[in-house]
Structure 1
């Protein structure tokens, strides 16, 4: 990994402190909301952490059956832990799987235990959840040992490449080929629409559309395949998937159990681009980030998506605001700086005068604001026209900005963006582009020092100033109102609407979820 000094902007420290103070003030009510509510997916994540897996003949997961049965009998506002482990202790079933199977047919009913029965159920639930947390801990140690033994990627930025055919058995050889060509991080994007499924599919899948389903078995298969190629190459190859959508907490849990290394996990992406209820999303993302913190997983946030719907120059400050909010929410959940793959993108229209200088200013602002974070730099997509030669040149410019501003994670741009799902040959050419730029210009971080009152520094200070103004308004209007008003990505998403709202419950006095308790106890590690 390079020890070169990143270039920095001369920002007013007081303005930077004000920005973070306002982000904290704007985010505090959202954290309070997350701490006082639960969702069906948070409760299902507890059951998955406790060892319940599998699905019925209709492919409905047993965790869904069990949570739905508890919800029908006593609600989820107290959590499912007490009713479920009370039923086990009363002898309704010998284990979670049998209990879920009986619950699916209506052969068992649930109660909310009190007194000594509640204490016994809580103790049993904590023991079960603790087993899952210990597995996540072991997987983290396993990663550290493999990196120590095999070696790590020899440079920054890490080269991040997407492989997702829909068929996990086709993804595997393509991912291994990409690693041999120089990719450091393999991302398996999800099948279109999976974020709107209120269940996690089971098993190895071969039928995804424009992506491959995120399942525990697919995680296991790809992790094993990358471990094999890592031994061959003499370096650890990282694996990424998506912890977003209606099952964010569960997918995060499965990622921890199967030793994934990065997860797409943005605090607002599901709200803005999938119309998922804001409260549902904020509750789910806090739990998922607690899991990621414990598992040593790097999150990737989705600010790049705002620039696919809003103008990348006019809306540049909204990216900065979102990065600051994502940083606050992540650290509150226990994540450390090295786990914050905050997103931004090369999406300015190339016809705009000085577009390259503007991109440098925006990228350098992010690098300066978050000096210890492995920022995720995203390639051009919005203004790719199908002209593969122009697209290849744009990707080269994107790679050059990444080299000059010291980005941490560089997603490989494809010249066939907006034309076809990339072929292996497209990926090979794209990786050649990255390698050439990084080998020829990777040291520019040492030499690139824009003058204090020049175009780049002035533009960066302007964007930061606009971000502070927006944060100030958000504090006055609240974060939920800002989202409802279309502040981010021009998407208007009110707090009392959106998919998954029916799966949210306000916690009652005595609410218990031992997974949350265990994760919060370990947040200071």
Structure 2
């Protein structure tokens, strides 16, 4: 087959890369299918409606999961012991049972025979009801998108990239007016980043929060409040404004479930970010991420992956191929969990040192390569951060070049850069200027991506082919040695993370014969994007 696309990539090389990525991912998928974690089990409880916390802030879901684990273990799942106790005890709800469990007054067993069949059916009904609520929130989004379509150029021109802006003061009640102001100034996607360190908490905080460091806590109530605020401004503006948060860390599955229940639109959800940058155990992360992506697929949520982070610790030229390898792995893991191409917001970044000769041409080559490898994915392009020095004028110019690269290569989501990135947490005035920058470039360039065609066999084409070839070479090593070994050797982002190190390994449990989780059973059996979706909703 002849080379294709603006970069004349060899289709056979691309197929080889995907085949190797699938081979490298297969042992990880098998592990995720044969193990559970405490957070996967707690996510079932949350889908079944268990919410709230004790006076000390410890969630009832944690209390209930801990009590079951202590009495029966988790290798058979929480569902049978929990719903057996509900059916045979004096409990009107999961919350009643959890309170008794927290006080040491609840007894759990692994039922058999007819009792097991009854508990299994009751658990299935509860899981089906929770997943049904997720389905209804997805249908609600579909209706709002039809009623309030996102903005775009007039006529039949190509879609403009979505403008993605971060808001997070630590106080949800301060975040809300800032998010609404950002939407009025042109933001299409508002991301509420999490408070530093939340990914290391093995519980999800409860309620609306007003304190957080460099971010705002991800809680169900904070999700609800921000979603309502953005719906309000969406109706005011006549265009739907998307909401993003983070499904990562030790509570990744639970936060994914809460995001589906509260109709978030995008979630940061990367298969290796927590391992490399938060020292979360690799096994725990991969098991949790499969379930979380199943929920995202069902909820119609677009995931954002974190390959841009590799280039903050490794050289953006030398390590460009590690981004491609990670994207191919994220694609394979995402597809296996049910995500469509339209839900794969694969990440990359404009992070080459501006002092490198022809750095902009290199950036264009990398961005165009990603675009052509994943033509149907809503790619998320991240701005320069590593080489922002505090010179706000140079930073503003560098951000403009980033915006230009994003438009020229047809990126789907552009996270706006801040000229004060190297000085302080951006002020509202900084965000306003950054929005003005990206609006100007986006509107002035229009459909420039249609006209941008690299010279055949020119520098951009040669660079893209070289990065793809290096990606294939690395994928061959990873598929031979194993992905866990590659992570342990510091292949991605330089940092070394052994498979039995890091936080959260104690929460990983292999399935016993007869393991049962009705949420996984439903998500495994049903196509999240199939023709029956509207009927389910």
Give the TM-score taking structure 1 as reference length. 0.98
In 2, Cα distance between the equivalents of 1:191 and 1:394?
28
Contact 1:290 1:523 in 2 (8 A): no
In 2, Cα distance between the equivalents of 1:156 and 1:515?
37
Q: Give, in angstroms, the shift of residue 80 of structure 1.
A: 0.3
In 2, Cα distance between the equivalents of 1:156 and 1:444?
11
Question: Which residue number in structure 2 is paired with residue 174 of structure 1?
Answer: 178
Contact 1:261 1:296 in 2 (8 A): yes
RMSD, aligned CA: 0.9
Q: How does 1:126-525 map to 2 (within 5 A)?
A: 126-154=124-152, 155-523=159-527, 525=530
In 2, Cα distance between the equivalents of 1:8 and 1:134?
44
In 1, Cα distance between the equivalents of 2:216 and 2:93?
32
In 2, Cα distance between the equivalents of 1:390 and 1:191?
29
In 2, Cα distance between the equivalents of 1:517 and 1:156?
39
Q: Give, in angstroms, the shift of residue 115 of structure 1.
A: 1.2
Question: Which residue number in structure 1 is paired with residue 65 of structure 2?
Answer: 67
1:172-195 deviations in Å (ceiling 9; x for gaps) = 000000000000000000000000
Contact 1:7 1:445 in 2 (8 A): no
Question: Which residue number in structure 1 is paired with residue 155 of structure 2?
Answer: none
Q: Give, in angstroms, the shift of residue 362 of structure 1.
A: 0.3
Contact 2:389 2:422 in 1 (8 A): yes
1:302-350 deviations in Å (ceiling 9; x for gaps) = 0000000000000000000000000000000000011010000000000
Contact 2:311 2:319 in 1 (8 A): yes
Say whether 1:79 aligns with 2:77: yes
In 1, Cα distance between the equivalents of 2:32 and 2:495?
22
Correspondent of 1:125 among 112, 115, 123: 123
In 1, Cα distance between the equivalents of 2:522 and 2:209?
32
Q: How does 1:16-35 map to 2 (within 5 A)?
A: 16-35=14-33
Q: Give, in angstroms, the shift of residue 507 of structure 1.
A: 0.6
Say whether 1:115 aligns with 2:113: yes
1:341-380 deviations in Å (ceiling 9; x for gaps) = 0000000000001100000000000000000001000000
In 1, Cα distance between the equivalents of 2:382 and 2:526?
32
Question: Which residue number in structure 1 is paired with residue 156 of structure 2?
Answer: none
Structure 2 SS opposite 1:511: coil
Q: Give, in angstroms, the shift of residue 153 of structure 1.
A: 2.9
Q: Give, in angstroms, the shift of residue 109 of structure 1.
A: 1.5
* Unaligned stretches of 5+ residues in structure 2: 153-158, 531-537
In 2, Cα distance between the equivalents of 1:97 and 1:412?
43
In 1, Cα distance between the equivalents of 2:7 and 2:69?
53
Structure 1 SS opposite 2:52: coil
Provide runs of 4+ in structure 1 moved above 6 Å: none
Contact 2:367 2:405 in 1 (8 A): yes
Structure 2 SS opposite 1:186: strand
In 2, Cα distance between the equivalents of 1:360 and 1:151?
30
Structure 1 SS opposite 2:36: strand
Structure 1 SS opposite 2:295: helix
In 2, Cα distance between the equivalents of 1:480 and 1:345?
25
Give the TM-score taking structure 2 as reference length. 0.96
Question: Which residue number in structure 2 is paired with residue 3 of structure 1?
Answer: none
Contact 1:7 1:446 in 2 (8 A): no
Contact 1:157 1:408 in 2 (8 A): yes
Contact 2:371 2:410 in 1 (8 A): yes
In 1, Cα distance between the equivalents of 2:277 and 2:461?
32
Say whether 1:37 aligns with 2:41: no
* Unaligned stretches of 5+ residues in structure 1: 1-5
Contact 1:129 1:515 in 2 (8 A): yes
In 2, Cα distance between the equivalents of 1:494 and 1:121?
39
In 2, Cα distance between the equivalents of 1:439 and 1:237?
19
In 1, Cα distance between the equivalents of 2:204 and 2:526?
26
In 1, Cα distance between the equivalents of 2:212 and 2:125?
37
Aligned residues: 520
In 2, Cα distance between the equivalents of 1:95 and 1:436?
55
